[in-house]
Chain A
Amino acid sequence: DAGVIQSPRHEVTEMGQEVTLRCKPISGHDYLFWYRQTMMRGLELLIYFNNNVPIDDSGMPEDRFSAKMPNASFSTLKIQPSEPRDSAVYFCASSPVGRWGSGNTIYFGEGSWLTVV
């Protein structure tokens, strides 16, 4: 079975440019999560969706960040304009349900490595 698919895997961009990260969750998973990982702050939850609806975006750092999920098989995380401090690994993850237990957990994509210079 295909796992969570993210693109691009690596991106280097200049400060001020728009960055769009893409994610395809595991088919049948109703929850989609965007995390950011840095050495300083660890793995932070940015936003998560349930059935394509954003449920909690309290982790989105500022207005430069936006996320959408137009359908059950696709989500984007956009940064506009990008800044060097946005350099991080961005993980998309999905889960079949939002209640933890009975073996439910989240499954991560391989990440998008973003460098803003």
Chain B
Amino acid sequence: QKEVEQNSGPLSVPEGAIASLNCTYSDRVSQSFFWYRQYSGKSPELIMSIYSNGDKEDGRFTAQLNKASQYVSLLIRDSQPSDSATYLCAVPSGNQGGKLIFGQGTELSVKP
């Protein structure tokens, strides 16, 4: 089992819709979870972090964490064409940090 798993997509949604991106992880002791966005030809950039069970909202983005199910998701409301990118889920490996393990990424396409 991979440490961090995501559906590779592509996920296509119409402009204005909600995009839902999902991630599962295998390390039960993980405490921090990150979502990165990567535009084609660019480097990953952090868009959300979450540490506690439940929801965390930042503008149009909501991260949801369920540690019991080892599941973290990212919702993008009112999706815009500029949101079209690959979204990477990242989880530290081990409680002491150091290694940040990335999922394969989900490619999102928002159609005007």
Looking at chain A's contact residues, is the secondary structure mostly helix, strand, loop, or mixed?
Answer: strand
CB-contacts of B69-112 with A (<8 A): 88, 92, 96-105
Residue of B nearest to A111 (CB): B43
Chain A CB count within 10 A is highest, among B32, B88, B101, B103, for B32
The segment from B9-17, B19-27, B44-52, B59-67 that touches chain A is B44-52
Check if A108 sits within 8 Å of B43, measured CB to CB: yes
Expressed in whole angstroms, the minimum distance between the Cβ of A69 and any Cβ of chain B is 15
Cβ contact of A33, chosen from B43, B88, B100, cutoff 8 A: B100
Looking at the complex, which one of A91, A98, A108, A111 makes contact with B97 (CB distance below 8 Å)? Answer: A98
Complex CA–CA separation, A58 to B99 (angstroms): 11
Bound-state CA distance A99–B100 (Å) is: 10
Tier of interface size on chain B? 20 to 34
- A110-B43 in contact (CB<8A): yes
Residue A31 lies at the interface, judged by CB distance under 8 Å to chain B:
yes
CB pair B102 A99 closer than 8 Å: no
Minimum C-beta distance from B29 to chain A (A)? 12
Number of interface residues of A (CB under 8 A): 23
**Complex Cα–Cα for A42 and B49 (A):** 20
- Tell me the B residues contacting A by CB distance below 8 Å: 31-32, 34, 42-46, 49, 51, 88, 92, 96-105
29 sample A-B contacts, Cβ–Cβ < 8 Å, listed by A number: A31-B98, A35-B102, A42-B103, A42-B104, A43-B88, A43-B102, A45-B100, A45-B101, A45-B102, A48-B98, A48-B99, A50-B98, A55-B98, A56-B98, A98-B96, A98-B97, A98-B98, A100-B32, A100-B34, A101-B32, A101-B51, A105-B100, A106-B100, A108-B43, A108-B44, A108-B45, A110-B42, A110-B43, A111-B43
Q: A42-B102, A98-B96, A108-B44 are in contact. List 14 more A-B contacts (CB 8 A).
A: A43-B102, A43-B105, A45-B101, A48-B98, A48-B99, A50-B98, A91-B43, A97-B97, A98-B98, A99-B97, A100-B92, A100-B100, A106-B100, A110-B43
